[in-house]
Structure 1
Amino acid sequence: MSRSEARCRSREAPDGSSSGRARPAGRQPGRPGEEIVDALHRYADHELGTAVRDVECVLPGFRYRAVDASGVVENELCPVFVATITADLTPHPAEVAEHRWVTVEQLQTLVATAPWIVSPWLVEQLDELEDLRRHDRSATLC
């Protein structure tokens, strides 16, 4: 998939607030003019302490809307990527409280039995990835 197919728009300001202005395709909060794939590499390094390769956008048009218990609304367009890590994870403690590797099947079981444990957008992402896999038997979930 080309970078142009993996571009998105966001109405989120750099500080995370809603600016009401659309950003140019492929531009996200963080660094002015930064392509989304470049930001993905930067975040993998900063937040997860690893590098990635074989980056592929599998859900370029993924969007979600979620409302938390206090009434805060998230309404975002955020493409879903898969990639291969090139080294063990060494997450930044200020970014990642804990992590665990699970199989796709284990994640699907968790979401089916206790969806409230994960983010609402992860539930939606798994549904869309499964739909994609059903329509393209050669596709894998990850």
Structure 2
Amino acid sequence: MHEAAEQYAFGKDATAVFSRQYELEFNSDDKRKKDGADVFTFFKPVLILTSKARELLKSIAPESFLDIHVRSPNPDHLGVVVDAKLVGAFNRELSEFDEYPNGLVVYKLVLNRLVVQGYDVFRVDENPLSIYVSDRFLEAAEGVDLKGLDFKEVRAL
């Protein structure tokens, strides 16, 4: 799934993540560990969610994601891909990054406020593996005690 997610993220194959059903295995190194998270981000921009997380995403940003087919040992797991990718959201003047032939390495990201306004869950064209959320989504996720997410503040000017 990781390869298909990358192909999708970088626009190499828009159908890659939708072309098959993915079989998931959790904690293959230690079966005694529980999968206590509501959101698994290892395959970004593909997310593995519990129904609790999907309902929140559906209520806050229904236009930002598409469902994909996954089979998991946990019957409550669902797969989605964050489909909303904004062009022009990356502020090149204020961000810190290095540019290489295959893309950017971003050290400090600043977003263009006018471009991201109104979006609650999205990706940016220049950094397509990262997923960005609004304050509204952050507050809602904290309100339902969503587990498995780490948030890092990003400025929007």
What is the TM-score with the length of structure 1 in the denominator? 0.28
Structure with the larger helix share: 1
Higher normalized contact order (CA 8 Å, seq sep 6+, divided by chain length):
2
- Relative to its length, the structure with more strand (as a share) is 2
In the superposition, the TM-score normalised over structure 2's length comes to 0.26
